[in-house]
Amino acid sequence: MSGEKNLTKLIASMTPVLLSDEYIFGMLEKVDYQQLSVLEPIGTFQEKEGLTVMLTKEKADQHNIGYEGVFKCITLNVHSSLDAVGLTAAVSTKLTQANISANVVAAYYHDHIFVAAKDAENALAALQELVREGL
């Protein structure tokens, strides 16, 4: 099933949901797939410096994975196409207006916005306002 590409429809139909867990971005210099299965990351990205892992703060603390910030995740809950143009920009612009930094991860079905834990409720409110106002 292909996702929506029309930006107006995407924004009008998205339902931002704040997930309950706290997340971190950490780095593993050496990839150990057994360790990954234990860490259960919600995302990874291979960079030349090592493997970035996105996982719960609880798992990071249990396994001594270093991190600098604690984040909450807002899932947009709209099936956006990976070819959609402007959704990330619209979301980032709205959060910028609220002085909130956003780390966007586009997955197959949904976009996920990681914001500092302290800003999570304000970010959710800003995104809900974006839905009400539209473009």
Give the number of domains in the chain.
1
pLDDT at 19: 98
For the chain, the average pLDDT equals 94
Whether 18 is covered by a domain: the verdict is yes
Whether pLDDT at 26 is above 70: yes
pLDDT at 83: 85
Residue by residue, DSSP assigns the chain as -PPB--HHHHHHH---EEEEEEEEEEEESS--HHHHHHH--SEEEEETTEEEEEEEHHHHHHTT---S--EEEEE--S-B-TT--SHHHHHHHHHHHTT---EEEE-SS-EEEEEEGGGHHHHHHHHHHHHHH--
Question: 32 or 8: which carries more pLDDT confidence?
Answer: 8
Whether 110 is covered by a domain: the verdict is yes
For residue 85, give its domain range.
Answer: 7-133
pLDDT at 1: 56
Two tokens, residue 26: 């950490």
Two tokens, residue 58: 């609880």
Whether 61 is covered by a domain: the verdict is yes
Whether pLDDT at 51 is above 90: yes
What's the CATH number where 84 sits? 3.30.2130.10
Summarize pLDDT for 107-135 with one digit per residue, the tens: 888 899 999 999 999 999 999 999 999 87
Whether 31 is covered by a domain: the verdict is yes
Whether 2 is covered by a domain: the verdict is no
For residues 18 and 112, is the Cβ–Cβ distance under 8 A?
no
What's the rounded mean pLDDT across residues 61-71? 96
